[in-house]
Structures are given as C-alpha cells and as structure tokens.
Amino acid sequence: QLQASGGGLVQAEDSLRLSCVASGRTFSSYAMGWFRQAPGKERVFVAAISWGGGSTYYADSVKGRFTISRDNAKNTVYLQMNSLKPEDTAVYYCALGVNIVVVRRTPNYWGQGTQVTVSS
C-alpha cells in the first residue's frame, strides 16, 4: 500500500513537500515515482528515483524546481516542489516499480492521490 500526503492549496512561487509511505513491501528494493493528473488531462510522469536513490529522472516541466528523494529507513519517498506554478495544479500520485525504467513508464503499483492546487 502506498499512502501519499502533503498536498494543499498554495500560491504561485510557494513550496510544498509531498510524502508517500509504503507498507507491506520491501520498499528499498523498488524504484519509486511521482505522477500527476490535471483536470481533463491524462496522468503524466513527474519524477522517479532508483531503489538506492542514486539515479533520478524528471519531466522537463519540473526540472530545477522539483526534487525527488527517499528515506528507505522510513519507507518514504518525497517530492519537494519549489517555485510552484498554477500549471502544477493536479492530483499527484506516487507509484512503485521493479526498476526506474518501469516506474517511469508502467508502474507496477499505484498509490492514491493527493491534491495540489496552486493559485496565481
């Protein structure tokens, strides 16, 4: 099970940190990722991190503003979001995959979403 939290309503240029806690699995063995789905749009990839944290990938739209990290001792993956823009408004989902390629494209498991709303 993946439990995401940390969403909310913020203003443009504010920051938020999302968290996703995993249970029931050997968390440190899996790559993790974040996706988002804006109203009326498809769910899209945001960021991913390898099982050990040594490799990360980002969508071009968030590079330089978002940072993905993980704490395997806490079974938690984070998404630090800085300089938020109204176009970042979406439901954010965490996901798990057997490796970083899989989690970026076709995750093996999805968590529930957390709403992020950025006002201008």
Mean pLDDT of all residues belonging to the chain: 95
State the pLDDT at residue 27. Answer: 83
Q: Which two tokens stand for residue 13?
A: 């240029």
State the pLDDT at residue 23. Answer: 87
Q: What is the DSSP letter of 53?
A: S
Which is nearest to 69 in space by CA: 89, 88, 50? 50
State the pLDDT at residue 64. Answer: 97
Confidence label for 11 from pLDDT (cuts 50, 70 and 90): very high
Taking CA atoms, 28 is separated from 9, 37, 52, 64, in Å, by 31, 26, 7, 26
State the pLDDT at residue 28. Answer: 82
Find the angle CA(3)-CA(93)-CA(84) to the nearest 5 degrees: 115
Q: CA-to-CA distance for 65 and 46, rounded, in angstroms? A: 11
Is 90 exceeded by the pLDDT of residue 96? yes
Q: Which two tokens stand for residue 83?
A: 């300089």
For 27-85, what is each residue's pLDDT tens digit? 888 999 999 999 999 999 999 999 999 999 999 999 999 999 999 999 999 999 999 99
Mean of pLDDT values over 99-106: 93
Sequence-distant (≥ 6) Cβ neighbours of residue 69 within 8 angstroms: 49, 53, 77, 78, 80
State the pLDDT at residue 25. Answer: 65
Q: Which two tokens stand for residue 43?
A: 């769910």
